[in-house]
Amino acid sequence: SVPYLDRPPTPLEFYREWVSPNKPCIIQNAISHWPALKNWTSAYLREVVGPKVVSVAVTPNGYADAVFKDRFVMPEERQMPFMDFLDIVERKVTSPNVFYVQKQCSNLTKEFPELVGDVQPDIPWMSEALGKKPDAVNFWLGESAAVTSLHKDHYENLYCVISGEKRFLLHPPSDRPFIPYELYQPATYQVSEDGSFEIVDEMSADKV
């Protein structure tokens, strides 16, 4: 079981009790002051971001950055108006594919700066505990079919849920020897002329 904290920890507590021993926790009442909890309705996002073109990951099955047969397949990265993406998420437009705003190179600050004022660009007690500001602050929005495959992050993570839910399956570091590990040819989903997806190898990329 993962412990619940009823308040944000002090920087010392957070580093000593959670970061240093590599233990997860769920922190309640940590972002209750964020305007995003009240503001971020579909209507608000349409008004504030609206027709702006953003990066959206598109896959036939919801698995982005995932092993499929003998390839490590990355999603098609589609540029589309944010309001069109919301139409798909809200089922106003039907699509057989799965769409997910999930770019990971600080897309909140780079692609969605209009929303930064509704949250915080960093969490003060986290920044103090680690001695630095975050390298990336991401905004993710997707359908329930969007699944993130098993992976290891090279960063400490704080995941703040504004609406809906996100389920995590966490393995302790001691499980590492028991997790299969192979090298795969990188590839990308691309849409063919008939609308179906094909898997195209990234020929210049090293195996991952």
Dist CA 67 CA 19 (whole Å)? 29
Query: Which band of pLDDT confidence, cut at 50, 70 and 90, is reported for residue 154?
Result: confident
Mean pLDDT of 162-183: 91
Beta bridge partners of residue 77, listed in sequence order: 57
Residue whose C-alpha is closest to residue 112's, from 137, 75, 88: 137
Give the number of other Cβ atoms within 10 Å of residue 189's Cβ: 22
pLDDT (0 to 100) of residue 194: 84
Tell me how many helices (H) and strands (E) the chain has. Answer: 6, 12
Question: What is the token pair recorded at 71?
Answer: 């390839």
Beta bridge partners of residue 66, listed in sequence order: 73
Q: Compute the half-sphere exposure of residue 185: CA atoms within 13 Å on the CB side of its CA.
A: 10
Tens of pLDDT along 156-165? 999 999 999 9
Query: Which band of pLDDT confidence, cut at 50, 70 and 90, is reported for residue 64?
Result: confident
Give the DSSP letter of residue 163: S
Dist CA 77 CA 66 (whole Å)? 14
Residue whose C-alpha is closest to residue 86's, from 118, 51, 112, 58: 51
Name all domains of the chain by residue range, CATH numbers in brackets: 1-30 (no CATH), 35-151+170-199 (2.60.120.10)
pLDDT (0 to 100) of residue 143: 86
Query: Which band of pLDDT confidence, cut at 50, 70 and 90, is reported for residue 17?
Result: very high
Query: Which band of pLDDT confidence, cut at 50, 70 and 90, is reported for residue 56?
Result: very high
Mean pLDDT of 65-76: 94
Query: Which band of pLDDT confidence, cut at 50, 70 and 90, is reported for residue 31?
Result: very high
By the 8 A CB rule, do 44 and 26 touch? no
pLDDT (0 to 100) of residue 44: 97
CA torsion sign, 179 to 175 to 103 to 82? positive
Give the chain's mean pLDDT.
Answer: 93
By the 8 A CB rule, do 143 and 136 touch? no
| 153, pLDDT greater than 90 | no
Tens of pLDDT along 74-94? 999 999 999 999 999 998 998
pTM of the model: 0.90
pLDDT (0 to 100) of residue 41: 95
Tens of pLDDT along 88-111? 999 899 889 999 999 988 999 999
| 119, pLDDT greater than 90 | yes
